[in-house]
Structure 1
C-alpha cells in the first residue's frame, strides 16, 4: 500500500501506514453454502458449522462453495446459535473482509493516525451521532468546524471497479439525502466508501442494483457532500485503510450494463 513519508530531524523520511484493526484469532475453513441472508455453513476442521454472516449484501461473487474462509469463533459460553462470524473470504488470490461491522473502526483508526488522504486534519469527536430520525457513524472535527461522516462497507469489485451497493439500500439513500440537505445549508458532510479488499482502482455507485442510491449520490456531491473511497490492506491478522481511489459518479446506468 502507499505509505505517507514524514521528514525526520536527520533529513531522512520514515514511512507511516494506517494502523490495522486486528481480527483476533481466526479459524480457517471452507465455505459450503448460504442458509439465508445472515447465516451460512462452513467446514471447520472437517465439521460443518453454522456461522453468522455479518453483511446484508448479496455477496454472490464471493460466497461460492469451496472458497477458503476465515471465521471469528464465538466467545466460549456465548448464548448463540452460530459457531462464530464469517470474517474473510479468499477470492481471486486476495482476502476480502465481509464483516461490515469493522468499517467504522478502520476509518476511525486511520483518522486517529492522521492517515486518511482527502480528509487531512479531521479527527473523530464522537461515534453514532443521531440527527433527526437518522444515525450517522462519526462526528468529525477540524479546528472549529464539524462534519457528519457516514461509512459504507464495500465488498463488490468487478473488473477493478468497486460498486456500492450490491443490494438496494433505502437506508443508504436516506443518509445521502440527509447529508446533502446539511451540505446545502452550509454544513460539512462526508461519506467514506471503505472497499474492504485491495484490488479496486475506482468506486462507482451501482446504478443498476440501486438507481435511487446512485441518483442520491450525484445530488449529494453536487450539493457539497465529500465522497471519498479507500481500499484496504487485508490479512488474516487484521484490516487497515490502504489508499484513496476516485469516486466516479457518471449518469444513470443502462439496464443490463452491469450484473
Structure 2
C-alpha cells in the first residue's frame, strides 16, 4: 500500500528576481537542433558510453550516474548532441535522448535543475509563488542544495531529482542506491528544523507516467529517509515532462506515493 503525498527543484546562477510573464505552453528548454542518431554498444564507465554512429564507433558523455538499464540498450534509439571539437573533450557527443518503445526520454540528469527553475520563474508552479528571487547551488550546512528561493516569508530550499525509470506507469527513484540523495534529504530536514521551507522535487524526464514512488526494492534506506523527511515537514513534489526531439518542458504536476510500510518503519 502507498500513502499519497502532495508532495517536488534547480543550475548555478546569481540570485535574481522572479516574475517573468508566462505564456501558453510555458517555457521550453530547447535542445541542439542537430541531434545525431546512434546505437548503444556498451557503457565504458558511469559517465561514458560507446555507441555505433555514422559507420563507426564514438564515445558519448552520459550525464547521469544512475544504472539506466532500461534506457541503455541496443534496441533503443539514441540521440546525441555533438560537442564543439575545440572543447578538448575526450567524448565527441553528449547522450541527450533515448527512444524507448516510441517514448522519448531525456537521459541528462543535469536538466531538471534548469527545467524547474524556468517553471518557477515563469510562475507556473503555484507552490512557489510566494517567493521573489532564486539562487542556484547554495551551501546549507555541509550540503549543497540545488536552489534557494527568497521572499518576505523567508527562504525555501529545493533539491531536484531526475527520474527516468518507469514501471507500470509509475516513475521510480532511484534506479541505484544513492547515499548522496539521503544526505540531501537530511539537509532539507535540517532546513525545516531551522524554520525554513524545504522540498524535494522529482522531475520525470518522460511523458508516460502518472505518479512517482521511491524505489523500495533498490534503495530501502532512501525510502525510509524520504518518509521521515515528509513527516518532518519537507514538501515532496513531482513533475512530468513533455519531451520532443527539439525541446523539453515541465507540463504537469503528478502525485508522489510513499509505501505505507516504509512510512511506518520511518
TM-score by length of 2: 0.85
CA RMSD in angstroms comes to 1.7
Cα distance change on mapping 1:43 and 1:174 into 2, 3 Å: same
In 2, the alpha carbon distance for the partners of 1:106 and 1:193 equals 11
Residues 196-246 of structure 1: CA distance to partner in whole angstroms, max 9, x if unpaired?
A: 001111100111111111111111111111100001011111211011100
CA contact (8 A) 1:153 1:193 kept: yes
1:24 aligns with 2:26: no
Deviations 1:59-79 (A, max 9, x none): 111111132111111112221
Output one character per residue of 1:165-213: Cα deviation in whole Å (capped at 9) or x when no partner: 0011111101101211221343200111100001111100111111111
**Offset at 1:144?**
3.3
Matched-pair contact (CA < 8 Å) for 1:124–1:138: no
**Is 1:174 aligned with 2:183?**
yes
1:219 aligns with 228
User: Judging changes above 3 Å, is the alpha-carbon distance between structure 1 residues 124 and 154 closer, same or farther for their aligned structure 2 residues?
Assistant: farther
Deviation at 1:252, TM superposition (A): 4.1
2:141–2:187 Cα contact (<8 Å) kept: no
Mapped partners of 1:123, 1:65: distance in 2: 46
Question: Which residue does the alignment assign to 2:62?
Answer: 53
Distance 1:15 1:137 in 2: 25
Which residue, out of 85, 95, 114, partners 1:86? 95
> Equivalent residue for 1:204?
213
Query: What secondary structure, in the 3-state scheme, does the structure 2 residue paired with 1:24 have?
Result: coil
The aligned counterpart of 2:8 is none
What residue in structure 1 maps to residue 13 of structure 2? Answer: none
**Distance in 2, Cα, partners of 1:240 & 1:37:** 26
- Range with bigger deviation, 28-37 or 229-238: 28-37
For 2:174, the equivalent position in structure 1 comes to 165
In structure 1, distance between residues paired with 2:144 and 2:86: 32
For residue 16 of structure 1, give the secondary structure of its aligned residue in structure 2: coil
Q: Is the 8 A contact 1:122 1:140 kept in 2?
A: yes
Higher relative CO (CA 8 A, sep ≥ 6), structure 1 or 2?
2
Calculate the TM-score normalised by the size of structure 1: 0.87
Q: Which residue of 1 aligns with 2:81?
A: 72
CA contact (8 A) 1:215 1:252 kept: no
User: Where does structure 1 lack aligned partners over 5 or more consecutive residues?
Assistant: 1-13, 254-259
Candidates 148, 155, 165, aligned match of 1:156: 165
- The total of aligned residue pairs comes to 240
SS in 1 for 2:84: coil
1:190 aligns with 2:199: yes
